[in-house]
């Protein structure tokens, strides 16, 4: 179901650029950024390879320049999906109906 959502952060140019520098995914970059800020990131996955990837963030450190670039991504909107997009509303409405909630 989540695959149906457009995950903006996974395709973000800044995160991809930093990830390429370290050989890491966008998700790993965000998890490392949170870790270095003393924030516990709760990454959810049911896929074993993603679980391994989520914990594999301790063999590199972000530079001050990396952190400044990532900080520019903080907005009041979601980095996961557009709340104003009718497709997103439909997706969640259908999800609730499917789960009889």
> Can you give the pTM of this predicted structure?
0.67
**CA separation for the pair 35, 31 (Å, rounded):** 6
Secondary structure (DSSP) of 26-81: HHHHHHHHHHHTT-------S-HHHHHHHH--SS----HHHHHHHHTT--SS-SS-
pLDDT above 90 for 93:
no
User: pLDDT (tens digit, 9 = 90+) per residue, 13-47?
Assistant: 899 999 999 999 998 998 999 999 998 888 777 88
Examine the pLDDT at 81 and tell me if it is beyond 50.
yes
Q: What percent of the chain has pLDDT over 70?
A: 80
Which residues have C-beta within 8 Å of that of residue 16, sequence separation ≥ 6? 26
pLDDT at 64 over 80: yes
């Amino acid at each position: 179901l989540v695959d149906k959502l457009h995950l903006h952060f996974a395709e973000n140019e800044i995160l991809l650029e930093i990830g390429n520098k370290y050989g890491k995914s966008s998700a790993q970059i965000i998890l490392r950024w949170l870790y270095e800020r003393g924030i516990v990131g709760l990454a959810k996955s049911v896929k074993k390879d993603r679980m391994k990837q989520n914990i594999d963030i301790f063999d590199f450190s972000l530079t001050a320049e990396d952190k400044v670039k990532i900080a520019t991504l903080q907005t009041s909107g979601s980095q996961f999906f557009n709340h104003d997009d009718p497709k997103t509303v439909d997706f969640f409405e259908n999800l609730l109906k499917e789960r009889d909630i």
